[in-house]
Structure 1
């Protein structure tokens, strides 16, 4: 069964969503809402109303700046239309609360949080769920910004919507930025970059450490690091130290199988990630030769389509994304005001 969707916006992220969807047999992008007419690979519409009158998609993806998201989400919900909103779903806490008050109970809103679906993160989460390091007690993330990092921290900890005490600070230092979203920059002189470091104390649910430098997501001069500490071991990036018996401790790598090396003539692709003989993650779209973000985007679109059809669970409900953004905003507030910030239970935390 083919599930149709439409895009609102057609910038960098929307173009990625469209490109990935064209390779998925059960998805069909039927159009995009854009401000000004221009050549697109799909029909364009001047407004949501025009889109709904002519295209009738099964769900809508809003790939727009945060300030524009709430109104579009409300418009979709008013028509009973499932919506997958780009991150974050609202620009600030007041807007987030207002959006939840208007649309939270509809059950129609999901958010496009793709980071937990990336192969390495998905494999790490599977290792933690399997109990390989016991009960997770702390997660440290240094790779991506705010709500994305918080999604990884909360998910790996299993912290749910536990209140958090956030303590954050900022420092500045010069850093060269040789790459950005558009590719090689040609820059030869370092410029000021801001590093934000925060501790997140979830009480009995554990703790997190957030460490992010301006541009780190794409700056290959900075490592991406992830660590999960548990009661019986520790996961560091792609290696786990763990108990093997009453008096045995081992360090075992998570191995990514990439085809196309040496005499593997099947072509370059990501196949699976294993821990010893155990497969932690396997590529559902092997043969596409996608990068990790494209793999995660495909998983997000496919799971959204399954949810819309009633064949699967919601991929990332608004309540989860709202909680991620709440803590991300607290990190910014704590760093700006140079004092701890404590999050409290919000309306979306009581939704379950």
Structure 2
């Protein structure tokens, strides 16, 4: 394509900032149009990002766009997705756009074959992408068990299914909720001056999948921001394991090896190349390369930028990367996990309409 990809975005909330930031770092992507609810939001977006923002849906959907990002609430998303599909515009939905199983089934039944992908970015965050590459390389043998304490609900399900290549396998889920008491420190609104502990829900779960693979889940919302609650991910295979950035594997008889995933960054200690992530290495070899370099982006912004580029390829006729079926399934697993918390009983998955299509994780 001899011009930047023309992207439209629906929504003007806080989450849209990451999409604007990631797109602005790329010479081949451009968010050119926005649809928002108020004139003030339209003026703010135009002033900050130079985007042609409007409150007129008819005008927005008549514009020449390569794809549309739907970044609104779950309740509002289905209507906008349907309108974009009707207008012949491929859709990148910010989240799985339904609140419950009935909504997921209804949405999939009406849109399952449409050009819709979902912006699940976690497996494209640099460290997760490196761990996924190592797990798939055979270095630790067949991955059998993942312990996830890095994201909530469908984000974690997506990451776990990707690491263990689970596709749409059936599962038994047990779960419980614990009280996590911790001093509030940092959140969406910045640092807190309070030093009084607050209580949050910490959900732990075990998912046993057909074929023997297991996902253990452990997460509380404080882990997204709090410096007092770190995030962790581990993967165990028959020849080794990955625990956060430490990799243990067997090089040969009596040859156990311990290596560390290491960031390769510029702009450090007088380096004048600029400040960006080059990639991640293991044992002197790159296991992840940042294709968005030299953009000055956080790891999550790199992941979102990767999603935007993958969506551009998909909209141009390329392969899907996280379709509505996968998104519905990960949200379904998250819903069942919370059902297991409420009932205190094991919950079994059942076949769903999206099982008829292929998964990105099999």
TM-based fold match above 0.5:
yes
Class of the TM-score when normalised by the shorter of the 2 chains: over 0.9
Q: Which residue, 104, 128, 143 being the options, matches 2:135?
A: 128
SS in 1 for 2:15: helix
The answer to whether the 8 Å contact 2:96/2:324 transfers is no
For residue 299 of structure 2, what is the aligned residue in structure 1?
Answer: 292
SS in 2 for 1:336: helix
Q: Unpaired runs of 5+ in structure 2?
A: none
- Residue by residue over 1:91-127, the C-alpha shift from the partner in whole angstroms, topping out at 9 and shown as x without a partner, is 1111111000000022x11000000000000000110
Q: Which residue, 63, 84, 105 being the options, matches 2:71?
A: 63
In the alignment, the residues of structure 2 paired with residue 186 and residue 99 of structure 1 have an alpha-carbon distance, to the nearest angstrom, of 43
- Residue by residue over 1:212-265, the C-alpha shift from the partner in whole angstroms, topping out at 9 and shown as x without a partner, is 112311222111100001011111000111101122111111111122222333
What are the within-5 Å matches in structure 2 for residues 188-227 of structure 1? 188-204=195-211, 206-227=213-234
In the alignment, the residues of structure 1 paired with residue 234 and residue 129 of structure 2 have an alpha-carbon distance, to the nearest angstrom, of 14
For residue 325 of structure 2, what is the aligned residue in structure 1?
Answer: 319
User: Once the 2 structures are TM-superposed, how far is the Cα of residue 47 of structure 1 from its aligned partner?
Assistant: 4.0
2:236 paired with 1:229: yes
The answer to whether the 8 Å contact 1:21/1:27 transfers is yes
2:157 paired with 1:150: yes
Q: Unpaired runs of 5+ in structure 1?
A: none
For residue 355 of structure 2, what is the aligned residue in structure 1?
Answer: 349
For residue 97 of structure 2, what is the aligned residue in structure 1?
Answer: 89
Could you list the structure 1 runs, at least 4 aligned residues long, displaced by more than 6 angstroms after superposition: none
Segment of structure 1 superposing worse, 22-31 or 117-126: 22-31
SS in 1 for 2:251: strand
Q: Which residue, 321, 335, 338 being the options, matches 2:341?
A: 335
- Residue by residue over 1:131-153, the C-alpha shift from the partner in whole angstroms, topping out at 9 and shown as x without a partner, is 11100001111021100011110
User: Once the 2 structures are TM-superposed, how far is the Cα of residue 70 of structure 1 from its aligned partner?
Assistant: 1.6
User: Once the 2 structures are TM-superposed, how far is the Cα of residue 205 of structure 1 from its aligned partner?
Assistant: 5.2
> What number of residue pairs does the alignment pair up?
349
In the alignment, the residues of structure 1 paired with residue 227 and residue 315 of structure 2 have an alpha-carbon distance, to the nearest angstrom, of 37
The answer to whether the 8 Å contact 1:157/1:205 transfers is no
In the alignment, the residues of structure 2 paired with residue 85 and residue 280 of structure 1 have an alpha-carbon distance, to the nearest angstrom, of 29
In the alignment, the residues of structure 1 paired with residue 156 and residue 259 of structure 2 have an alpha-carbon distance, to the nearest angstrom, of 25
Root-mean-square deviation (CA, aligned residues, Å) is 1.3
The answer to whether the 8 Å contact 1:162/1:205 transfers is no
TM-score (structure 2 length as normaliser): 0.93
Segment of structure 1 superposing worse, 193-202 or 71-80: 71-80
For residue 26 of structure 2, what is the aligned residue in structure 1?
Answer: 24
In the alignment, the residues of structure 2 paired with residue 306 and residue 295 of structure 1 have an alpha-carbon distance, to the nearest angstrom, of 17
Segment of structure 1 superposing worse, 277-286 or 159-168: 277-286
In the alignment, the residues of structure 1 paired with residue 147 and residue 275 of structure 2 have an alpha-carbon distance, to the nearest angstrom, of 31
In the alignment, the residues of structure 1 paired with residue 173 and residue 80 of structure 2 have an alpha-carbon distance, to the nearest angstrom, of 31
Q: Which residue, 288, 291, 306 being the options, matches 2:313?
A: 306
Segment of structure 1 superposing worse, 147-156 or 177-186: 177-186
Segment of structure 1 superposing worse, 186-195 or 108-117: 186-195
2:25 paired with 1:7: no
In the alignment, the residues of structure 2 paired with residue 173 and residue 326 of structure 1 have an alpha-carbon distance, to the nearest angstrom, of 25
